[in-house]
Amino acid sequence: MIDTAILPPATARSLIDAIGAPVVLLDEQAVALALSPAMKALIPGLEVGKLLTLVLRDPDLIEAIDQVSRIGGREVIELIERVPVERTFRIHIAPFPGGAGRRNATLLTFQDLSEQRVIERMRVDFVANASHELRTPLASLLGFVETLQGPARNDEKARGRFLGIMREQGLRMARLVDDLLSLSRIEQRAHVAPDSPVDLAGISREIVDSLALMASEREVTLKLTGPAEPLQVPGDRDELLRLMENLVENAIKYGKRGGAVSITVAALDGEASVCVRDDGPGIAPEHLPRLTERFYRVDTAASREAGGTGLGLAIVKHIVLRHRGRLTIESKPGEGATFKAILPRFEARRAG
Ligand code: ADP
């Protein structure tokens, strides 16, 4: 009776081969009888004829497979693999009686939840970070309001000083909200590449002019090198201004007091680059890959002191991505830092 239910091995294998999801058919010993191509891609160590539990050594998985194979029913388990990188799988285990000629075969369907988990964690961290960043100045603001309503009610001198601090804290909150809004606007439009011709050389001149005062306050010399003629990229003018402003402002803020910041705009083969280099203390290598994360700072106190929100480079990264370009950051401690954005050229896109 059961024999008639047996799926010929070749049919079972070609069925599994055709499935787009990662699936593996196991015999009653948990030896792989057939794998889909997506399964091979997901767990390259797994092969036909090999014990699944040698590749994924998880007691819960072994027990669940055994249970389904002997008793039937379905099981769903979540498995976290920690090496070589952390991955989370949801595995559906179902009986596949007669599959590839085995009475107690089971079919395992994998779902890779790793990316989803990373995104969930980032979202939770982001909300926590943003709330924390806003709560600190808010608490200080409320503290001063209460002091002015209470103990310092009639203290003229304290009032002036406290109002000054309150203004600072209010401005800090406003900067943070502005940066959060910019970031979300850029992200919302991430899939639409901007296409108006924008002159990178002109943008750089504007930024150098607008930051001249800030530079002179830190006795920093700004040196701009670029072509006299326009160097156009398909872009969003406001976003490119923002990109340049963030990079040059950082170089002034975190570079050397009394140092030099060079801004170089250059035409490359089909591309254009802007490079901002300072001669400050630089950045240790372990921080480099994380600098463009939201709220990541090398020195939180120094960043706050300089009026930073921790979002500047995250905004830069998203602007570069939206412009279909790339950002490189190079630095050796003690030898300054170099931030370079490379964007496709306008002419090149038109021609292509
Ligand atoms: P912030 O608002 O703190 O300036 P950013 O995202 O612009 O935020 O920068 C993140 C961190 O990267 C800064 O807090 C600083 O520690 C570091 N950083 C950025 N630019 C430079 C630079 N030119 N030299 C040294 N450190 C830098």
> Residue 304 pLDDT more than 90?
no
Q: Is the pLDDT of residue 338 over 50?
A: yes
Confirm or reject: Cβ of 61 under 6 Å from ligand 1. Answer: no
Rounded to the nearest angstrom, the distance between the alpha carbon of 120 and the centre of ligand 1 is 26
Q: Are residues 129 and 230 in the same domain?
A: no
Cβ atoms within 10 Å, residue 152: 16
Same domain for 224 and 341, yes or no, is yes
Write the CB contacts of 260 (distance below 8 Å, at least 6 apart in sequence).
220, 221, 222, 223, 278, 279
Confidence of residue 100 (pLDDT cuts 50, 70, 90): low
Same domain, 178 and 40: no
Query: Tens digits of per-residue pLDDT, 168-223?
Result: 999 999 999 999 999 999 999 999 999 999 999 999 999 999 999 999 999 999 99
- Distance, CA 53 to ligand 1 centroid (Å)? 47
Query: What's the CA gap between 106 and 184, in Å, rounded?
Result: 46
Distance 232 CA to ligand 1 centre (A): 28
Q: What is the mean pLDDT of the chain?
A: 92
Atom number of ligand 1 nearest to Cα 276? 23
Range of the domain at 65: 4-112
CATH of the domain at 305: 3.30.565.10
Provide the whole-model pTM.
0.78
Ligand 1 atom 13 nearest Cα: 297
CB atoms near residue 98 (< 10 Å): 19
Per cent of the chain over pLDDT 70 is: 95
Rounded distance from Cα 303 to ligand 1 centre (Å): 7
CA of 157 to the centre of ligand 1 (A): 36
Specify the range with the lowest mean pLDDT, choosing from 5-14, 43-52, 183-192, 338-347.
Answer: 5-14
Q: What is the pLDDT of residues 305-320, one digit of tens each?
A: 888 999 999 999 999 9
Percent of the chain with pLDDT over 90: 82
Pocket test for ligand 1, best of 297, 300, 338, 340 (most atoms within 8 A of CB): 297
Last residue of a domain, one of 97, 112, 127: 112
Average pLDDT over residues 27-43: 94
Q: Is the pLDDT assigned to residue 266 strictly greater than 90? A: yes
pLDDT higher than threshold 90 for residue 80: yes
Among 188, 217, 239, identify where a domain stops.
188
Instruction: Report how far ligand 1's centroid is from the alpha carbon of 140 (Å).
Output: 24
* pLDDT of amino acid 48: 94
- The answer for residues whose C-beta is within 8 angstroms of residue 271's C-beta and 6 or more apart is 325, 342, 343, 344, 345, 348
Assess whether the C-beta atom of 327 lies below 6 angstroms from ligand 1: no
Spatial separation of the C-alpha atoms in residues 142 and 132, rounded to whole Å: 15
Model pLDDT, residue 11? 80
Task: Tell whether 210 and 329 lie within a shared domain.
Answer: yes
3: confidence class by pLDDT, cuts 50, 70, 90: very low
pLDDT at 35: 95
Handedness of CA 175, 181, 186, 187 (dihedral sign): positive
Over residues 48-55, the mean pLDDT reads 93
Q: How far apart are CA 352 and CA 267, in angstroms?
A: 17
Residue 147 belongs to domain with CATH number: 1.10.287.130
Last residue of a domain, one of 127, 153, 188: 188
- How many angstroms separate the Cα of 177 from the Cα of each of 81, 171, 249, 284, 297? 38, 10, 19, 29, 18
Q: Ligand 1 mean position to 321 CA, how many Å? A: 19
Q: 350 and 205, same structural domain? A: yes
- Regarding the beta carbon of 108 and ligand 1, being less than 6 Å apart is answered no
29-37: Cβ within 8 A, 24+ apart? 30/62, 30/65, 30/66, 30/69, 33/9, 33/99, 33/100, 33/102, 33/105, 34/100
Nearest protein Cα to ligand 1, atom 4: 308
Q: Is 336 in the pocket of ligand 1 (CB under 6 A)?
A: no
